[in-house]
A and B are shown apart, each in its own frame.
Chain A
Amino acid sequence: MSTNDPIDLRQDRRQWLKTSATVLGATLLPLPAVAAERSQAETAPAAPEAKPAEAKSTARFLTPAQHTLVDELSETIIPADTHSGGAKAAKVADYIEQVLHESFDDSQKALWREGLRLVDLMSRHYSSKSFVDASQEERVAVLTVLSNNDHMTDLPEVRFFIEIKRLTVRGYYTSKMGIHDELEYKGNRILQEFVGCDDQGPASS
């Protein structure tokens, strides 16, 4: 995480926002001055560094506010639809909390702290609202910028998006909701006879 210097990245991000503006259309611009962004960064709810003693006693990695943010982010990545519930219903944020709490990877933890802060900052930048307070369309707009630029892995917010998508996918498709309601998985049962194309051809068409 040697590239995790906020000043350099903020400059990079200006460049990157220019690029993404052409992707998204002009609605999300104009670009703010660096100074304005910096002042927002200072007022944005920074992820508090968990003190070792605290971490032991509370056994949480995410603060309640961060947990809510993860809940909304994961739901934006895998939302409820008419077919099945989404990441929120599948309690993906709890899964992510567990993974991070138990992780021995300090760089992963640092990425989550920084990523949550930066995503919220982006939301404030685009809609003047925190991600949690933003509308569905505003949330999608923020993640669209990150998703459409997922090759820009020098940026921590991009790496964070890749990471939260990975864990959301992992958490969702290993949950009861994901396996049974969403995918209607038919396996992991006792079979009297193997099933092949002849057996499922007519039934599945």
Chain B
Amino acid sequence: MVESEANLTKTYDAIVIGSGAAGGMAAHVLTSHGLQVLLLEAGKKLPIERELRSMEWPYDNPYRGSLPPDQHSLTFNEYTIRNPPYGPGFEKAKHLKSYVGNTDYMKNIVVDERENPFTGTNYAWVRARCLGGKTNIWGRLALRLSDYDFKAKSRDGYGENWPISYSDIAPYYDKVDLYLGITGVKENLPYLPDSIFQRPTKLNCAEVTLKESLAKMGRVLTQYRAGVTTDGLKHNKYRSRCYGRGACERKGGCDIHAAFDSPTGLIYPAMDTGNLALRTNAVVSEITVDPKTGKASGVRFIDNQTMKDYAVRAKVVVLAASTLESARLLLLSKSRLHPNGLANSSGHVGHNFCEHIMGPGVTGRAKNLIGKPPTLDDGRPGGFYLTRFRNLADKHPKFIRGYGFEGGSGSTMFPHGTDTPGFGASFKEEVRKNQGAFISMGAFGEVLARYENYVDLDSVVKDKWGIPALRFHYKFGDNEHRMAEDMKETAQEMFEAAGFEIVHVRSRVLTEGWSIHELGTARMGSDPKTSVLNQFQQSHDVKNLFVVDGSAFVNASCQNPTWTIMSLCWRSCDYLADEFKKGNL
């Protein structure tokens, strides 16, 4: 791989801001069409294999895998009781991290909360400023959306339909499947279309029990559809096929890159085209505008380390900084021609902010597995996905939209059941006997996109680089809370029906943001008055500006968004390259 230096005196065909799933995909597609692209990443390029150390045993780690004592990661209680910005009150911690940064393997991947403050309503905002962003640590569940999601308004009357249908994006889902690799099993579900799957993982015994019980209820449990290559990718020399290396239940990165991450999956191959330059440590503060044409002319950025200001020009600007950072950048890019921020004549930038609600779930024990010899349940990218069953054929009386469950079972390196009461010989034996019998799942449900859930800029608080912080005005609503109640009840019912002993039913809704699936702050639509982007994620207002990350989503659906972000981005960048060549941008 040849890393090409950024030339700041050159006018690039396109600047891509952000190097996560969306930015990596934009870099890949645009360079493959021959455009000269500059990719900007706010963080540094980490020696990622040395961070992740997938096979390190806890006893070989100075902190047994925990966060070093001079660092602190925020807990649920702290997110609940304390208010943003979360910096104050943790003075003893040299670095303060979001809840995800709670291991020695994650600590350098997620940002320091004090350097990156935000204000307003409580929010567990997980940010990874480093090459590849959150793709370095994603949960890798890779699901498609369907017309149940794209045309949800037509089904229940709420919100807006997407300006695309499943048939528009399906070919791009196929491209993403084939280019990046995905494991799973075909189920022929209209509401959760199949991908082009590589070799599937296998369900273990408790999971099979649950699957068979659910089938009698007409519900579907399928192997975890993971954005992981299980057969390998002949066209990619930076990634290995999955060979069960490591304790995969320790979520948070795969150091052989069988699980997709943006650098090895997209950015390094894009560099090999010779068309991509990369500038890390580039904290973009503004998208600049040509005062005559009103079009985007490039960006200004601050070097993360030296704090020096730079400007760089391009014919097209592609924003892929993540749903919330992209909204922030649009709002920051105010000018005479764009007084409300760039691409914001509709006033919808920052609004219609949505995501997934999570927390409710259940843990049980498969009684027939108690006391059995230990089994090998680890080394797979995930356990199972229990697909949506609400508001498909019938209509739930208390809420609209749906939810699915992620779960798994079996032995793990650090055993389940250490919360067993007591101590001594009986405690030790309990933990040993039960370690392979636990099964657990938690729900992810659609949070409705509402105009009144939004972010804007704080007028006082600034980040380490002097850039105004984001302010949150965001709360779960009644539909979400009624759905969460149902999640808890159905979780328990399904485990009871499967004959599991119920160990714990979780009803607690986790802090807003916990799912790390924030979406919808610059939604697509065909009406420029009520949407920010057209169906190709192109700004209605500024023709040479595209926003290709999760901010373009019209609703959140209940499926994990990464695969859709990348498929949409591929489609939009094909369009972008075509328009670019025609001279239309």
Contact = CB atoms under 8 A, between A and B. Distances in A.
A133 B547 CA distance: 70
Nearest to B420: A169
Contacts of A83: 429, 432
A112 to B, nearest CB: 14
Contacts of B245: 189-191
Most-contacted residue by chain B among A79, A103, A191 (CB, 10 A): A191
B83 to A, nearest CB: 22
Contacts of B246: 188
Nearest to B72: A104
B257 to A, nearest CB: 15
A143 B423 contact: yes
Interface in A54-99: 76-79, 81, 83, 86, 95, 99
Contacts of B93: 104
B379 A187 contact: yes
B208 A197 contact: yes
Contacts of A81: 425, 428-429
Interface string B37-77: 00000000000000000010111000011101110000000
Most-contacted residue by chain B among A103, A105, A169, A182 (CB, 10 A): A169
A194 B258 CA distance: 14
A97 to B, nearest CB: 13
A31 interface: no
A185 B55 CA distance: 14
Given A190-B243, A194-B244, A195-B377, A175 B59 contact: yes
A192 B425 CA distance: 37
A83 B373 CA distance: 13
Nearest to A140: B424
A187 B373 contact: no
A189 B423 CA distance: 31
Nearest to A192: B243
B376 to A, nearest CB: 4
Given A174-B59, A186-B375, A200 B428 contact: no
A113 to B, nearest CB: 18
Contacts of B247: 187-188
Contact of B57 (A143, A179, A198): A179
A184 B435 CA distance: 10
A124 B456 CA distance: 62
A52 interface: no
B69 A200 contact: no
Contacts of B208: 196-197
B374 A184 contact: yes
A103 B413 CA distance: 25
A77 B424 CA distance: 4
A77 B427 contact: yes
Q: Which range holds the interface residue count of chain A?
A: 35 or more
Interface in A134-179: 140, 143, 147, 150, 165, 169-171, 173-176, 179
B411 A183 contact: yes
Most-contacted residue by chain B among A150, A165, A183, A199 (CB, 10 A): A183
B404 to A, nearest CB: 21
A201 B378 contact: no
A102 interface: yes
A196 B202 contact: yes
A84 to B, nearest CB: 8
A204 interface: yes
Contacts of B59: 174-176, 179
A21 B203 CA distance: 49
B451 interface: no
A196 B204 contact: yes
A205 interface: yes
Q: Is the interface of B mostly helix, strand, loop or mixed?
A: loop
B413 to A, nearest CB: 6
Contacts of A185: 374, 411, 413
B344 interface: no
A63 B2 CA distance: 56
A188 B55 contact: yes
B418 A169 contact: yes
A189 to B, nearest CB: 7
Given A79-B428, A182-B432, A197 B202 contact: yes
A41 B65 CA distance: 38
Contacts of B429: 81, 83
Nearest to A95: B64
A119 B183 CA distance: 53
B69 A173 contact: no
A204 B372 contact: yes
A110 to B, nearest CB: 14
B93 to A, nearest CB: 7
A195 B424 contact: no
Contacts of A189: 244-245, 379
Given A77-B424, A81-B425, A143-B423, A200 B378 contact: no
B415 interface: yes
A76 B424 contact: yes
A10 to B, nearest CB: 24
A147 B207 contact: no
A113 B380 CA distance: 43
Interface string A102-127: 11110000000000000000000000
Contacts of B378: 186-188
B413 A188 contact: yes
B64 A79 contact: no
B583 interface: no
B204 to A, nearest CB: 5
Given A191-B243, A204-B372, A182 B428 contact: yes
Contact of A104 (B58, B69, B372, B422): B69
Closest 3 CB pairs of A and B: A196-B202, A187-B378, A191-B244
5 contacts: A147-B421, A174-B58, A188-B55, A192-B243, A195-B377
Given A197-B207, A200-B376, 13 more contacts: A76-B423, A102-B69, A173-B418, A173-B431, A185-B411, A187-B378, A187-B379, A188-B413, A191-B379, A192-B243, A194-B201, A195-B376, A204-B375
